Amino acid sequence: MPTLYRFRNWRITMYFDDHGLPHFHIACNGREVVVLIETLQVLEGEIDKRALIEALAWAAENQPLLHKTWVDFH
């Protein structure tokens, strides 16, 4: 589960043995959400709203990196 990005109290990770649609995880204070790379839709989970907004903003700017990382390791 490499951390792709860390900021304050949240981090973006990707589990390389995950299956299904390309996605990443945002972890914050012991909670986690799963987010589709292509649409940035939250599939499941719940975290602090401010952390989610910050993390999704970072993800929007870095979708090509997230997609490439998914492809390279799956």
Rounded distance, CA 19 to CA 43, Å? 14
Domain boundaries, the chain: 3-73
DSSP-assigned beta bridge partners for residue 13: 3, 25
45-69 mean pLDDT: 96
The full DSSP string for 19-38 is -SSSEEEEEETTEEEEEETT
| Res 16: pLDDT | 82
> Structure pTM?
0.91
Our separate counts of H helices and E strands in the chain read: 2, 5
> What pLDDT is stored for residue 3 in this prediction?
87
Determine the pLDDT at residue 57: 97
As a whole number, mean pLDDT of residues 48-58 equals: 96
- What's the pLDDT tens digit per position in 1-47? 688 899 989 999 998 888 889 999 999 999 999 999 999 999 999 99
